[in-house]
Homo-oligomer: A and B are copies of this chain.
């Protein structure tokens, strides 16, 4: 199956396009109408070096992790997802993998409000990129940099630790666990929650690299040096992670594990989030940005979050 057949078969579905999609899949680039009298053109392209690598996961799981990563970024800005482009690189054509990939991809695009407007396919080591485009009322974006001393740190989303615990399943050190597996393979970005926080949060970020590391990004982006004081008892940790790994390791997994796709935000003292959330700490002025846990430095053996370039 060549590139053009692949696009025709899997990615040119005749669903109803929004009126603002002037040109969708199948031209050199996509065209979106915005300002009256002006249109935006979007394209995504890839260059791949080398050709191998086995297919290491199911099409469904790959699709959901891929889309969730992009959409969670939009959620963390408070944006409404609108358009989507896919760049897909496959080592070979295996319909047993691509069929469920495409099925889940389109199902989630509909569910999360995205319309596929373009992309490309290439042969090479399995990989994919999504470009997601969202919209916002002017000036309402939830940015990283607005946190202030006195703000309370809130976490929005399911109790933490399952996605990190699943890495131990993958390397064979603990038995399979359906809840962690789902947490890892089927993340759900918090789109509505992000939108609800637009009028409230001073800063917001999604936890893709690990709560501590992502919170550090918020601190580093702030205009004044801040320390986040976190409280162990307040951090929501999945009960089954505590059960299997013990309280200490479970806390480490919750605070440093990536791929959770919850939202971490800061709100002024006295403001309660309009969505279910847990207050897990507060921000205080300091000499240099940093994190403290129950008034102490973080354990020195913790690996502070997940670095995707490592």
Chain A interface residues (CB < 8 Å from chain B)? 1-4, 6, 22-23, 26-29, 31, 33-50, 52-57, 62, 65-66, 69-70, 72-74, 76-77, 79, 85, 87, 89-90, 93, 120-141, 143-145, 205-206, 217, 221, 307-310
Residue in chain B with minimal CB distance to A217: B4
**Majority secondary structure, A binding face:** mixed
Query: Looking at the complex, which one of B29, B35, B129, B308 makes contact with A123 (CB distance below 8 Å)?
Result: B308
Residues on B with beta carbons closer than 8 Å to the beta carbon of A125: 48-50, 53, 124-125, 127
Query: Looking at the complex, which one of B47, B65, B126 makes contact with A62 (CB distance below 8 Å)?
Result: B47
Query: Looking at the complex, which one of B43, B56, B93, B134 makes contact with A131 (CB distance below 8 Å)?
Result: B43
Is A307 within 8 A of B76, CB to CB?
no
Question: What's the number of copies of this chain in the assembled complex?
Answer: 2
Is A41 within 8 A of B79, CB to CB?
yes
Residues on B with beta carbons closer than 8 Å to the beta carbon of A44: 44, 70, 129-132
Is B53 within 8 A of A50, CB to CB?
yes
CA distance A109 to B217 in the complex (A): 27
Query: Looking at the complex, which one of B28, B40, B41, B90 makes contact with A144 (CB distance below 8 Å)?
Result: B28
> How distant is A18 from chain B, measured CB to nearest CB, in Å?
14
Is A37 within 8 A of B138, CB to CB?
yes
Q: Could you list 12 further interchain pairs (A-B, Cβ under 8 angstroms) beyond the known A44-B44, A124-B125?
A: A3-B307, A6-B309, A28-B205, A29-B77, A34-B34, A35-B35, A41-B79, A44-B70, A49-B125, A50-B53, A50-B56, A53-B125
